[in-house]
A and B are shown apart, each in its own frame.
Chain A
Amino acid sequence: MNGAVWAVIKREYLQRVRSRWFLIATIAGPLLLIGLIAAPILLANRGEERERTLTIVDRTGVLYDRVAPRLAEAGYTVQPSPGDAAELDRLTESVREGSLGGFLELDEATLTRGEFVMHAHEAPSPVRTLTIRQAVVQTALEARLGGSTEDVRALLSGGNIEVDVLSVGPGGLEDATFVAAYLGAFLLYMSVLFYAVAVMRSVLEEKTSRIVEVVLSSMRPYELMLGKILGVGAVGLTQFAIWIVSATVIFSVGAPALLAARPDFISPETLAGALPGLGYAFLFAAYFVGGYFIYSGLYAAVGATCNTDEEAQQAQMPVVMLLVVPIIFVTQVIQDPQATLSVALSFIPFFTPILMFARAAVGGASALEVALSMVLMAATVMAVAWVAGRIYKVGILMAGKRPTLPEILRWVREA
């Protein structure tokens, strides 16, 4: 590669990596992860002892014996109380001063409609409310139905559907996979857009500052564009690499801590299943590179046809639409990756980076489809580079009003 292109790559890369926003974004990412892991642990430990002591006033006479073991299982210390007026006053007082986490009043309404009152020292977390409500309501149902405990519990937990996908690959649609595919697709969208827009801004800066005239006296326009795209793209890859490394560290340290603190919260198997693996990282990187090359080319061309930031804001709309369409369809595609619509959309090159990634991430695309999409994507990158390079070449040195579409088409033909 010639020295001038290398100098451009280096400049774009170092200027960005050394900048403040890169530092902030790179640190903020892992911090967010740490926060997500640490928050439940902290919540779990907060006021543990006090909040986990419950007194139950059972006016039905049938619920306490059944509900107590359930709550004990979830980590609560439970005592019964007769619930006469004096006793209620005493309980209210201890809850108010904080020596007791709270007390429940169960009565006929609990038995018939699952309704009951909880007096608590402070507002309970959603998880606590859910745990306690489920324990009480399940117990009430059991008492009404009178069946065996296990059956009712299974029924109440929402049953289970076992999905057996016969056509492609392993894996059904587990929650973790869904979330990973969705987050991944969204992150792809964000990062492709972010870095492609960075390319546009860089093009625009060179154009408006006129420095491009001097730079282009030493290299060809397409070399400048290429250097710019490679340099900015390398910044994106660097950021991902830092995130992946720190995420690995965080999970290998943080995950065990999480599991130790809340054994009831998530099982080690579920967590392991939820963590994206190497294949996922590879797919992400590959579709990022493809998507980035396609969109950064388009954005470079957009930047070259504009003279101000405001113009660029407007001119980029059609390109943004191309990126937004797959995001509109992504949930649908993840839910039904084999549907004709999903398959068709994922093979439209401008949508491929996000939608084919989403399909592949939920195991809904065959290796052949993935490979084919990559080939198509590579071909699109070349086509975009050819067209965008021509628009860029003419536009970057053009002053005056923004060109119309027919004019741009003429540049492409004649450049």
Chain B
Amino acid sequence: MPDFALRLSGVTKRFGTHTAVDHLDLEVPRGSIYGLLGPNGSGKTTTIRMVMGILHPDDGSVELFGSDPGETRRRRVGYLPEERGLYRKMKVLDLLSFMGEIRGVAPVEGRRRAGDWLDRLGIGDWADRKVEDLSKGMQQKVQFVATVLHRPELLILDEPFSGLDPINQDVLEEIVREFHQKGTTILFSTHLMDQAERLCQRVCLISRARKVLDGDLRDLKRAESRGVLAVGFEGSDAWLDGPEVIAREPVGEDLHLVLAEGADPQQILRRGVEAAATIRRFELVEPRLHEIFVQHAGAAASGDGGLPRDADLGGGVR
């Protein structure tokens, strides 16, 4: 039996009449990098909050390291919430020492580790400054240090890349890989499919509270390889319109078309020939994660539309 760091079975959460998470099953094997993907409002944060014990599922169960979660087990988790927050009036080092201490790291040891991390992230000089004096980017780094200070076995990062500039996104990506190499299990949620594609071994795609796809990224791509058509052409694109095409997206010089299930690319080609289009390229390609998602969740859910950002919180009462 495989060893799971985290397992959700049939987890459901409702806020009033709105179902935020609907019978979600999720198994995160130890040592994996797992992406929880979906547009804003699809239930990612609610799911993570249930894992962290901030919300309680109405139905289903959460298992952490093989049994029911409790404070002791949660202390082995490093949790970076989507909405970042720190004690603004505290000095950086005091704050980090406190965050370590509540998860069982002795203050002296916590300060030492925090100092090392701050140096590594290039903000060592700020250790004795108050959090409110730091720039937003520096605060994000401090928050990340607070998340990993106690050397968690499982890292749960909710939208970790949001608000980071490209350079720091790379820094974070590198650190996440490093933790992965050291054997830490990583679960992160994001609506940035490209990021997930670079980092994840396994992904779970959710849309509108339901899981649409789950599994090893390479397997998923292989299974989907018939679904995306790369076309390069000159002139009018009117011939592309048809029931076969769910969505289109420019990729470089070409256009990627996400095809409906069971669609026949020949139909499109025929229309192109009839329209006398100059076609440079007409090729089925390995889909990008984004395209897989669009195909499964439907074009409507692909954008940042759907539900408002905080719909999974929205004043609900449990």
Contacts and interface: CB of A to CB of B under 8 A. Distances in A.
A220 B75 CA distance: 12
Q: Contact size class for B?
A: 35 or more
Contact of A218 (B81, B102, B316): B102
Interface in A171-216: 205-206, 208-216
A218 B103 contact: yes
Contacts of A210: 81, 83-85
A211 B98 contact: no
Contact of A211 (B71, B75, B87): B87
A213 B52 contact: yes
A326 B81 CA distance: 44
A394 interface: yes
Interface in B289-318: 310, 313-318
A212 B148 CA distance: 17
B71 A394 contact: no
Contacts of A152: none
Contacts of A15: 87, 89-90, 94
Contact of B85 (A3, A7, A209): A209
A63 B31 CA distance: 106
A398 B315 contact: yes
Interface string A356-367: 000000000000
A399 B313 contact: yes
A408 to B, nearest CB: 10
B99 interface: yes
Interface string B201-229: 00000000000000000000000000000
Contacts of A7: 98, 101-102
Contact of A213 (B54, B87, B89): B54
A262 B209 CA distance: 82
B122 interface: no
Interface string A219-250: 11000000000000000000000000000000
Contacts of B75: 217-218
B315 A400 contact: yes
A115 B72 CA distance: 84
Contacts of A6: 101
Contacts of A394: 317-318
B285 interface: no
B317 to A, nearest CB: 6
B102 A219 contact: yes
26 contacts: A3-B101, A3-B102, A7-B101, A10-B98, A11-B94, A14-B94, A205-B88, A206-B87, A208-B85, A209-B86, A209-B88, A210-B81, A212-B85, A213-B52, A213-B81, A214-B79, A217-B53, A217-B71, A217-B74, A217-B79, A218-B75, A218-B102, A397-B54, A398-B317, A400-B316, A401-B315
Interface of B: 49, 52-55, 71, 74-75, 77, 79, 81, 83-90, 94, 98-99, 101-104, 146-147, 310, 313-318
